[in-house]
Amino acid sequence: MNKFETQAIRVQAERSHNREHSVPTYMTSSFMFDDAEHMRAMFAGEAEGNIYSRYSNPNTDELVKKVCLMEGAEAGFTTASGMSAVFNSIVPFLKAGDHVIASRAVFGSTHQILTQILPRWNIAFTYVEPDDVGSWESAVQANTKMLILETPSNPGLALIDLEAAGVFAKKHDLIYCVDNCFATPYLQQPIKYGADIVCHSATKWMDGQGRVLGGIIVGKAELMAEIKVFIRHSGPAMSPFNAWTISKSLETLAVRMDRHCANAKKVALFFDKNEEIQRVLYPHHPKHPQYKLAKKQMTQGGGIVTFEVVGGYERAKAFIDEIKMISLSSNLGDTRSIVTHPASTTHSKLSETERFSVGITPGMVRLSVGLEHIEDIIADLQQALEKSKVVITKQMASSLT
C-alpha cells in the first residue's frame, strides 16, 4: 500500500455502519459526545475525534492524510481556497519587525500579501531571483524568518532549485515554504529537498475538474501545531463537500497528470515548430532555460505551456478572440483547456516593470492544457494563429491608410 497511486485511492475515512464502498460526505457542522466527561476530555485534547467542522471533519481528515502521504509530510490542514493556504502558511510564523525572503515570481495574490498586507504589520520582504539561488545571500537579514517559494511559477514557469534552496534555508535557519500547486505532489515533492511547509491551491490540478475551491497545507508537525492556532480561530475551513470532491479527484490524479503532461508536451513541440510563435516555455522542453533542473526535480513537465505570439499585445488578444473550443477563463488545471492573458488579468495589478521582471510580456499567453483529444487542441490553436494573423494584418493595413 505504499505506492502513490494506491494510497491516492485506498486512503479512506472509516466506513459508517452502512458499510458504503465510496466514502460518504459528512455534511455536519458539529459532532456529538457520549457524556459531559467525554466532551470535557475531547476539549482537553485527551480523546481523539471530531468536535466541530471548523476544527476537523472526517472528509477533511481523509484529504489531509492522503496529501501528507503524497508529499511525505507529517501533518496538515485543509483550507477554503489556495490563497487561504498560502496566507496561513506564512502569517503564523511572523510578528512585527520580521522579514521574509520570497521568490520574485510568485502568484499575483501572494505578491499582494507580501506588498500590501504584511507591511501593515511591519513585516518586510525582499524579492530574490528564482533562477539564481547563489545571489540570495545578500537578501538575508538578522530578522529574516522565512523563505517563500513557488516552482514552477505561475504563469512564467520559472523554476527554483529546491535542493539548493533547502541548503540555503538550513544555513540561515529559515522556515522553508513552497507553493507546489503547478507541479502537484505527483510530479514534485519539495519536502524531499528540505521544505518545511508545502501549500497548494487544490482548486487547480488536485480537483482537476474546475468544480470546487480548496487549499492544503502540509509539513512538519511542530510547525503545523503553530498553524493550527490560526486555522482554528480565524476559521478558513474547507467545506466537507469540497474535501470529499477533492479527495475523490486525487484517486485519478496520476492518470490525469500523465495525460495533461503528454498533451502539454505535444503542444510545446507544435509551438516550437510554428513561426507565429516567438517563444515557448515548457519545463520539460529542451529550450526551457532551466531544462536540466526541471528534469532533475520534476518527473514530468506539468500541464501548463506559456508562449508568446508574434505581434505582441494586440496579436495575443486577437489570438484569444479567435479561439473556438478552448475556454477563456481565469482557472487552470481543468479537464478543459483554458487560455488566459496574464498581463491584462491575473497580473494586471503589477506595474509593467514588475511584470517584465518576472518575465510576463504583453504578448504572453498561458495555456492550461486539458484532456480533450490532442488533435482537437492543436487544431484550435492552429486555426486561431492563422485567423489572428489575418486580423492583425488587416488592422495594420487600415492604420496605414
Q: Which residues bind ligand PLP (CB under 6 A)?
A: 81-83, 86, 107, 150, 154, 179, 181-182, 201, 203-204, 213, 215
Between 278 and 331, CB nearer to ligand PLP: 331
Which secondary-structure segment (H or E) carries 90?
Answer: helix 82-90
- Minimum distance of ligand PLP from residue 173's CB (angstroms): 26
- Minimum distance of ligand PLP from residue 26's CB (angstroms): 22
Picking from 176, 149, 148, 147, the residue whose alpha carbon sits closest to that of residue 160 is 149
Hey, what's the cell of 334? 481543468
- Minimum distance of ligand PLP from residue 291's CB (angstroms): 21
- Minimum distance of ligand PLP from residue 391's CB (angstroms): 30
- Minimum distance of ligand PLP from residue 153's CB (angstroms): 7
Between 24 and 108, CB nearer to ligand PLP: 108
Between 64 and 392, CB nearer to ligand PLP: 64
d(C-alpha 241, C-alpha 238), whole Å: 8
- Provide the 8-state DSSP code for 200: E
Hey, what's the cell of 253? 490524479
Between 200 and 315, CB nearer to ligand PLP: 200
- Minimum distance of ligand PLP from residue 212's CB (angstroms): 9
The pairs formed by 39-44 with CB atoms below 8 angstroms and a separation of 24 or more are none
Between 84 and 388, CB nearer to ligand PLP: 84
d(C-alpha 151, C-alpha 293), whole Å: 11
- Beta strands 215-219; 99-103: pairing state: unpaired
Between 60 and 388, CB nearer to ligand PLP: 60
The answer to whether 257 touches 73, Cβ cutoff 8 Å, is no
Question: Read out DSSP for 294-324?
Answer: HHHH-SS--SEEEEEETTHHHHHHHHHHH-S
d(C-alpha 303, C-alpha 187), whole Å: 11
- Minimum distance of ligand PLP from residue 160's CB (angstroms): 13
Quickly count: other Cβ atoms within 10 Å of residue 115's Cβ: 15
Between 156 and 311, CB nearer to ligand PLP: 156
d(C-alpha 210, C-alpha 77), whole Å: 21
Residue in the shown chain whose Cβ atom is closest to ligand PLP: 82
Q: How far is the CA of 213 from the CAs of 26, 42, 111, 204, in angstroms?
A: 18, 30, 20, 8
- Minimum distance of ligand PLP from residue 201's CB (angstroms): 3
Indicate the SS3 state at residue 395.
Answer: helix
Between 118 and 181, CB nearer to ligand PLP: 181
Picking from 367, 393, 386, the residue whose alpha carbon sits closest to that of residue 319 is 386
